[in-house]
Amino acid sequence: MNHTRPLAVALGAALTLLTAIALAAIALALPARADDIVYPPGSRVGLVPPPGLAAAAGFPGFEDRAKNVAMLVGALPAEAYKEFEHSDSAEGLKRLGATLEKRESLTLPTGPALLVIGHQDKIGTWMLVASTPELTAMVTLRIPDTARDTYPDQALRAALQSVAVRAHVPVDEQLGLLPFRVATLADFNIGAVLPGRGIMLTDAAPGTADAAVAPHMVVAVMPGELPGGDREELAREIFRGIPNLKDVRVTNAEALRIGGQQGHEIMATAKDPATGADLKLVQWLRFGGGAFLQLVGIAPTPAWTQAYGRFRAVRDGIEPR
């Protein structure tokens, strides 16, 4: 009997198995490919979600509604990482009614990170805080004990270790988060977007803190019916709530039509509380549909004439979705 052939077959099978194992180990060790990273709409922070989690509809992150698993993705200022690094995780979780199980220091491709794991009422809480040069990435996971077989620790850790930060969010993606269409940005930069509510446009360069004194504009939807039909009083009440102004003096207030709908305009002067610079500002309200649109444009007095024309261009390009 020839024993050579069975032995060769066995050795071949063993080598094939070892090769497969080696390739699998290499694949697990490799960082996630850039095209595997999923960024929630409007977020600079993304990751490769664990199998079973899909993009969430009501918050920036991922979810498995059937198993009540949620992963929230967000960003904080870069300096926030130091605060987390020196904080008492056990005490923080205790205030939330949870018990600390583990706190780990990690090193991710983005930089140093902290992983805090807690538990409360048969629900696990995982929180990753990752430092990057531009921001602090934060991922919070809530997972019931009943879902742990579907989402084992290895899968959760792999997802958290894949955290990535993109340089910027595409403009169209940011504008798509708004409850209205913006036909023109009038050469403003996007300063911030509050999904479902509004947008701030500014001449300040991205990443700088001088938006308070640069020409800037806020456009936001304000839900609610008009109380008593008194648009003048409502406009003045809302105007008084505009923050970061001093020595405000209304120079004109009148009703007008904006985009074919009833509206109201208030013009005023003020001073910047931080610098004392002279400012001019305008507030427009556009009524209709069980809500109203508030538009506020503010600029230093020397830059007002040019800024005002751009404020109007943005206002006249706002359309309902």
Q: Which fold has domain 31-165?
A: Protein Transport Mog1p; Chain A (3.40.1000)
Task: Parse the chain into domains and list their residue ranges.
Answer: 31-165, 171-320
Rounded to 5 degrees, φ, ψ at 302 are: -60, -25
Which of 176, 201, 216, 186 lies closest to 317 in space, CA to CA?
186
Residue by residue, pLDDT tens for the chain (321 residues) are 444 443 333 334 433 433 333 333 333 344 445 558 999 999 999 999 999 999 998 899 999 999 999 999 999 999 999 999 888 877 776 676 778 899 999 999 999 999 999 998 899 999 999 999 999 999 999 999 999 999 999 999 999 999 999 999 999 999 999 999 999 999 999 988 888 899 999 998 765 555 457 999 999 998 766 555 678 888 999 999 999 999 999 999 999 999 888 899 999 999 999 899 999 999 999 987 678 899 999 999 999 999 999 999 999 999 888
- What pLDDT is stored for residue 22 in this prediction? 37
Mention the CATH class of domain 171-320.
alpha beta
**Distance separating alpha carbons of residues 128 and 117, to the nearest angstrom:** 9
Q: Matching CATH topology for 31-165 and 171-320?
A: yes
**Is-contact 314 182, C-beta < 8 A?**
yes
* Angle ∠(75,77,82) on CA atoms, nearest 5: 105
